[in-house]
Amino acid sequence: MGVNSNRVEHFASHDSAIEETMQIHAVQLPPHQTTLHKLRHRVSEIFFPDDPLHRFKNQTRFKKFLLALQYLFPIFHWAPNYNLTLLRSDLISGLTIASLAIPQGISYAKLANLPPILGLYSSFVPPLIYSLLGSSRHLGVGPVSIASLVMGSMLSDKISYTQEPILYLGLAFTATFFAGVFQASLGILRLGFVIDFLSKATLVGFTGGAAIIVSLQQLKGLLGIVHFTSKMQIIPVTISVFKQRHEWSWQTILLGFGFLVFLLTTRHISLRKPKLFWVSAAAPLTSVILSTILVFLLRNKTHQISVIGHLPKGVNPPSANMLYFNGPYLALAIKTGIITGILSLTEGIAVGRTFASLKNYQVDGNKEMMAIGLMNIAGSCSSCYVTTGSFSRSAVNYNAGAQTTVSNIIMAAAVLVTLLFLMPLFYYTPNVVLAAIIITAVIGLIDYQSAYKLWKVDKLDFLACLCSFFGVLFISVPLGLGIAVIISVLKILLHVTRPNTLVLGNIPGTQIFHNINQYKKALRVPSFLILAVESPIYFANSTYLQERILRWVREEEEHIKANNGAPLKCIILDMTAVTATDTSGLDTLCELRKMLEKRSLEFVLANPVGNVMEKLHKSNILDSFGLKGVYLTVGEAVTDISSIWKAQP
Q: Write the pLDDT tens digit of every residue in 116-135.
A: 999 999 999 999 999 999 88
328 exposure class (CB count in 10 Å sphere: 0-12, 13-18, 19+): exposed
Q: What's the gap between Cα 369 and its chain centre?
A: 13
Q: Is the confidence at residue 413, as pLDDT, over 90?
A: yes
CA separation, residue 609 to residues 30, 36, 325, 581, 631 (Å): 9, 21, 51, 10, 11
Q: Where are the beta strands (DSSP E) in 330-424?
A: 388-390
CA angle 104/105/109 to nearest 5° reads 115
Domains along the chain with CATH numbers: 105-309+329-441+451-491 (no CATH), 499-647 (3.30.750.24)
Residue 240 host element (H or E): helix 234-243
Residues 521, 507 contacting (CB under 8 angstroms): yes
Helices (H), 1-60: 2-19, 35-47
Q: What percent of the chain has pLDDT over 70?
A: 93
Q: Which residue type, as a one-letter code, is found at position 204?
A: V
Q: Is the confidence at residue 5, as pLDDT, over 60?
A: no
Q: Write the pLDDT tens digit of every residue in 12-26.
A: 444 444 444 557 777
The percent of the chain in helix, strand and coil, each rounded to the nearest 5, is 65, 5, 30
**Of the listed ranges 156-165, 358-367, 607-616, the one predicted with least confidence:** 358-367
Half-sphere exposure of 392 (CA within 13 A, CB side): 30
Give DSSP secondary structure letters for 592-637: HHHHHHHTT-EEEEE---HHHHHHHHHTTHHHHH-TTSEESSHHHH
- Kindly state the average pLDDT of the residues 199-211: 82
Residues 164, 346 contacting (CB under 8 angstroms): no
What is the DSSP-derived secondary structure letter of residue 570?
Answer: E
* Termini Cα distance of the chain: 26
Q: Is the confidence at residue 589, as pLDDT, over 60?
A: yes
Assign 196 a pLDDT band (cuts: 50, 70, 90): low
- Kindly state the average pLDDT of the residues 336-359: 86
Q: How far apart are CA 637 and CA 572, in angstroms?
A: 8
Q: What percent of the chain has pLDDT over 90?
A: 34
- Kindly state the average pLDDT of the residues 323-331: 91
Dihedral class, residue 459 (left if φ above 0, else alpha if ψ from -120 to 50, else beta): alpha
Q: How far apart are CA 415 and CA 315, in angstroms?
A: 10
Q: Is the confidence at residue 103, as pLDDT, over 60?
A: yes
- The CB density around residue 139, as the number of other CB atoms within 10 Å, is 34
Q: Write the pLDDT tens digit of every residue in 365-379.
A: 888 899 999 999 999
**pLDDT at position 122, please?**
95
Residues 537, 500 contacting (CB under 8 angstroms): no
Q: Write the pLDDT tens digit of every residue in 159-175.
A: 888 889 999 999 999 99
Give the pairing of strands 630-631 and 602-606. Answer: parallel
Residues 113, 375 contacting (CB under 8 angstroms): no
pTM above 0.85, yes or no: no
**pLDDT at position 22, please?**
59
Burial 466-500 (b: 16+ CB within 10 A, else e): bbbbbbbbeebbbebbebbbebbeebeeeeeeebe
Q: Write the pLDDT tens digit of every residue in 522-549.
A: 888 999 999 999 999 989 999 999 999 9
